[in-house]
């Protein structure tokens, strides 16, 4: 068997040889059944040449041996490949990366919220993180006011479905975006706290602050 060929393909070739033997036949006889020279299937099994059998040849061999073509198929059928692609797509979710920054500093002007990229995450991982049903967007942090919790260049997930309560949120003040800890304050006001003690807390009228969403995940370089 060719070591450069995937193990699953070599296994399928090995099964073909064994099934022919069990049938009391040989690879040479099967080759002649296909109208090929006697060494055709021997080269296919031993050297992987050709890499895959043509579908008509595969079906003819399977019928002769009384087996399903799947047992000896090395190349997925079109239907199988399409089904596999659908299953793979269903197992993953793409989180859009938005072309804007959330400032952990003086404030960054938000650009148009248009995805320019995306990050793929498995739905299983999202479930484990409690994020499967979240309305997620990924944006980048700029500045140092949230250090050491968030560092400049970190990527954060913002759940736009969560805009109430306390926690770390992305907020808009005027045209500028900020990422801050939101805490309860006096009625009609909102308190924005930086993790970096070098930055003084802000207390603003509630109507001046638009809460974009809660920060629910972060990632960044070490």
pLDDT in tens, 89-140: 568 888 998 876 666 665 554 545 667 888 888 888 998 899 988 999 999 9
Asked which of 85, 114, 146 is the last residue of a domain, the reply is: 85
Q: Among 4-8, 158-162, 174-178, where is mean pLDDT lowest?
A: 4-8
Domain count, the chain: 2
Q: Are residues 164 and 203 in the same domain?
A: yes
Residue 36 makes CB contacts below 8 A (sequence gap 6+) with none
Would you say residue 2 lies in a domain?
A: no
Asked which of 29, 63, 85 is the last residue of a domain, the reply is: 85
Reduced DSSP (H G I as helix, E B as strand, rest coil) percent helix, strand, coil of the chain, to 5: 30, 30, 40
Q: Are residues 137 and 36 in the same domain?
A: no
Asked which of 85, 120, 150 is the last residue of a domain, the reply is: 85
- Domain ranges, residue 181: 91-219
């Amino acid at each position: 068997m060719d070591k450069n060929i995937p193990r699953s393909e070599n296994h399928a070739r090995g099964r073909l040889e064994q099934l022919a033997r069990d049938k009391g036949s040989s690879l040479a006889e099967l080759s002649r059944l296909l109208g090929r020279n006697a060494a055709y299937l021997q080269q296919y099994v031993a050297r992987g040449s050709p890499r895959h059998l043509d579908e008509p040849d595969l079906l003819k061999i399977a019928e002769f041996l009384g087996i399903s073509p799947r047992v000896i198929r090395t190349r997925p059928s079109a239907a199988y490949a399409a089904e596999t692609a659908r299953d793979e797509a269903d197992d993953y979710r793409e989180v859009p990366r938005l072309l804007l920054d959330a400032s952990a500093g003086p404030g960054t002007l938000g650009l148009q919220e248009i995805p320019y990229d995306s990050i793929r995450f498995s739905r299983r991982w999202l479930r484990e993180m409690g994020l499967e049903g979240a309305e997620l967007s990924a944006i980048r942090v700029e500045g140092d006011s949230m250090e050491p919790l968030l560092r400049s260049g970190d990527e954060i997930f913002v759940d736009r479905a969560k805009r109430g309560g306390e926690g770390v949120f992305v907020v808009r003040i005027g045209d500028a975006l900020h990422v801050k800890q939101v805490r309860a304050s006096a009625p009609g006001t909102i308190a924005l706290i930086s993790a970096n003690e070098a930055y003084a807390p802000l207390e603003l009228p509630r109507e001046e602050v638009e809460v974009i969403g809660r920060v629910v995940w972060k990632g960044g370089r070490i």
